[in-house]
Amino acid sequence: MRNRGSLVAAVLVMALSWGIPGRALSQLTEDVPLVRPEALIDLGTTEGAGLVKGQWRYRDAKVIQVSFRGVGPDLKPSGPTNRTYDITPQAGAADFDDSQWEVIGADTLEKRRATGKLCFNWYRLKMTVPEKIGAFDPTGSTIVLEVALDDYAEIWVDGKLPRVLGQTGGPMVKGFNAPNRVVVGQGIKPGQQFQLAIFGSNGPLSSPPANFIWIKAATLEFYQPGRLGRVRDAGGEVVRLHPALDAIVPVGAKIEKLADGFLFTEGPVWVRDGGYLLFSDPNANRIYRWAPDGQVSIYRTKSGYTGMDIGEYGQPGSNGLTLDKEGRLTVCEHGNRRVTRLEKNGVVTVLAGRYDGKRLNSPNDLVYRSDGALYFTDPPFGLPKSYDDPRKELPFSGVFCLLNGRLKLVSQELKGPNGLAFSPDEKYLYVGNWDENKKVVMRWEVNADGTLANGQVFFDLTSAPGEDAIDGIKVDQRGNLYVSGPGGVWIISPEGKHLGAIKGPEHPHNMAWGDEDGKTLYLTAQTGIYRIRLHVAGVRP
């Protein structure tokens, strides 16, 4: 993506970076749906619990002292042996045996339980999706569990408690007496079973109150597909230039808008372990998380820069995002001029920050090869004055490969190397050029040692009207390229034939393959997030 900074953008960046809430962004984090569910089951009633064939079971939890290890040089528990604390029982697992627990009536959830002051407890319920809920057939719908517990709750569904950095609510603690909303399942079928486990805590923890734990409300909401999450038809069009496109983009496929109100969206990646989309807003210096229930939350603030001169930058934040084979997020940080990896414990590891002793320009986009080799592009678009910025130390814009801890410059042929992707067999690497005078997609053969050979212009868009050059690139499992170019997403066959284009209401600057089957193309397009369902799955991390 080319720097589109302006005075207005800089003011907004400062406001966001310093924590001044904007009206648009305050709307993004609302987690209350704007639509009513088609059906609702109150699990706090005998009738509701009976409808899902559920029986509430209960047990107090307590803190116990256990052996552990202190922090070591690796910032992990590898240091000296120590004593610390744990919770027992640990009853979140789907197959946890609660048969000896107390059975409690659904209409007694409001009874005060546990021991008071600093105390903890568990509620468990195994539920079965009914055939009918009144006249409503729940087949294919989405179930949301909403729990309001006094004071804090964590909710496990089928033994899973997703842990997402920056997460507030959902299955994790939402806040003092705040309701937790958790998507139990999507595309459900009557007869399907789910195991729910609710861990309760009295609070505030630092000042335990003179009261007890109780559930104020526990309900299941049922939404027909597409109604939850504020999904709406975005308009736009699919331009079909070749019959082969029908096998890729379904006839009648619609572009859907998922969220808006951002400054400039970029660098998306779908996280399969948890089922959500991460994307950058480099202008706002943030990484956001979008979940299928429509919630948008800040995953990581100050995602690319914390320097005092941040007001000079148009795009100080993160840009390209991807995952390594262990599922760790890898980030191109514009302002910090480096590529980093976010470890599972939240520690940031710098993978690349200098080449030949000089600072990188502003890493833009990145992709892993299956053997762990990391390729990234490094134009100067994140610097305040781009090519003319006095901070610039490298005399070229490079394509780099990080393999076995060694950073190699594998190309410096392009003025503005940007998006990049491998062919499905990893024989070729495609790199787009953000240069209005040379809007090309290059293709190189990839050698085992990470170097590139026999580079050639794979597709030339220079004559296409519009100021946009080449931005993000993705590839599907059949080898078709999806290129952010002038006017929209260009779909190009492995042989270099232009098959058609996806044109939305805003220009998409990057893409990611998402959902369980990988057949949904998510688009980061300036102020909004969009998606379109395809016939073919993509190559994804």
195 CB-near residues (< 8 Å, 6+ apart): 94, 124, 125, 126, 127, 156, 157, 158, 159
Q: How many H helices and E strands in the chain?
A: 3, 36
Is residue 94 packed enough to be buried (19+ CB in 10 Å), middle (13-18) or exposed (0-12)? middle
What is the structure's pLDDT at 18? 32
Classify 9 as helix, strand or coil: helix
Per-residue tens of pLDDT for the chain, all 541 residues: 554 433 333 333 333 333 333 323 333 334 444 578 999 999 999 999 999 999 999 999 999 999 999 999 988 899 999 999 999 999 999 999 999 999 999 999 999 999 999 999 999 999 999 999 999 999 999 999 999 999 999 999 999 998 877 777 889 998 889 999 999 998 999 999 999 999 999 999 999 999 999 999 999 999 988 677 778 888 999 999 999 999 999 999 999 999 999 999 999 999 998 899 999 999 999 999 998 878 888 999 999 999 999 999 999 999 999 999 999 999 999 999 999 999 987 889 999 999 999 999 999 999 999 999 999 999 999 999 999 999 999 999 999 999 999 999 999 999 999 999 999 999 999 999 999 999 999 999 999 999 999 999 999 999 998 888 999 999 999 999 999 999 999 999 999 999 999 999 999 999 999 999 999 999 999 999 999 999 999 999 9
Q: What is the pLDDT of residues 262-310, one digit of tens each?
A: 999 999 999 998 899 999 999 999 999 998 878 888 999 999 999 999 9
Segment (H or E) for 25: helix 23-28
Q: What is the dihedral of CA 380, 386, 388, 393, to 10 degrees?
A: -30
pTM for the full predicted model: 0.83
Q: Domains in the chain, ordered, with CATH? A: 7-30+229-533 (2.120.10.30), 39-223 (2.60.120.260)
Q: What is the pLDDT of residues 215-255, one digit of tens each?
A: 999 999 999 886 777 788 889 999 999 999 999 999 999 99
What is the structure's pLDDT at 1? 54
What is the structure's pLDDT at 6? 36
Is residue 36 packed enough to be buried (19+ CB in 10 Å), middle (13-18) or exposed (0-12)? exposed
* Cis-peptide into 494, omega within 30 deg: no
Q: What is the pLDDT of residues 153-164, one digit of tens each?
A: 999 999 999 887
Amino acid at 267: G
Residue 526 and residue 516: Cα distance in Å, rounded? 25
What is the structure's pLDDT at 290? 93
